């Protein structure tokens, strides 16, 4: 019996240099810790094309490193119509991204793939992960904490459907 295709998750923010790379990297690490690397794939993209091909923002890389993650290999990419077909779940980092992605959806199936990250975690007063781009180092750390919390919740939701059944004896 061959392994099924992996479940593909893409995290989407504006430029793919701050929030969505954090989410991609954090989620990938959680998946790896649970032994599900071959069963779940994590990616990220931006709604805009301004940073395509660039590294993540230095402050993103630094915030990730402070928590033990490696963001040095990230290269920004743009979400396209084909991204719907290439992914099973499209996770928006705020409601603006959710609206844009829903508008870009070609049909109900695409639209049904779009969700907000903070619906999976303790999110306090809102559903938007704030954009730290114009903020200080502390905001990058705070945003990373929000992403970590929600990523744990997302994986808890996915894991029962992804984990292979225990072998029968």
Q: CB of 2 within 8 A of CB of 130?
A: no
Collect all residues with Cβ–Cβ distance below 8 Å to 103 and sequence separation of at least 6.
none
Q: CB of 14 within 8 A of CB of 101?
A: no
131, exposed or middle or buried, with CB in 10 Å at 0-12, 13-18, 19+?
middle
Alpha helices by DSSP H, 87-136 = 95-104, 108-112
Pairing of strands 40-46, 7-13: parallel
The number of helix segments (H) and strand segments (E) in the chain equals 6, 4
Catalytic residue among 62, 88, 131, 142, which?
Answer: 131
Catalytic residue among 19, 39, 59, 77, which?
Answer: 19
Catalytic residue among 13, 39, 43, 57, which?
Answer: 13
13 annotated active-site: yes
Tokens of 8: 């593909």
Tell me how far apart the alpha carbons of residues 151 and 156 are, in angstroms, rounded to a whole number.
9
Q: What residues are labeled active site?
A: 13, 19, 131
């Amino acid at each position: 019996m061959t392994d099924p295709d992996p479940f593909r998750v893409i995290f989407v923010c504006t430029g793919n240099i701050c929030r969505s790379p954090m989410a991609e990297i954090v989620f990938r690490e959680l998946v790896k810790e649970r032994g599900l690397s071959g069963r779940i794939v994590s990616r990220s993209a931006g709604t805009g094309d301004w940073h395509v091909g660039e590294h993540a923002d230095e402050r993103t890389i630094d915030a990730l490193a402070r928590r033990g993650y490696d963001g040095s290999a990230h290269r920004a990419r743009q979400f396209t119509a084909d991204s719907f077909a290439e992914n099973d779940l499209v996770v928006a980092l705020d409601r603006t991204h959710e609206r844009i992605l829903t508008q870009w959806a070609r049909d109900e199936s695409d639209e049904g793939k779009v969700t907000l990250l903070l619906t999976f975690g303790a999110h306090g007063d809102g559903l938007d992960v704030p954009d730290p781009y114009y903020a200080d180092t502390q905001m990058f750390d705070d945003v990373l904490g929000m992403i970590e919390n929600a990523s744990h919740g997302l994986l808890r939701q996915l894991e029962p459907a992804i984990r292979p059944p225990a072998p029968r004896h």
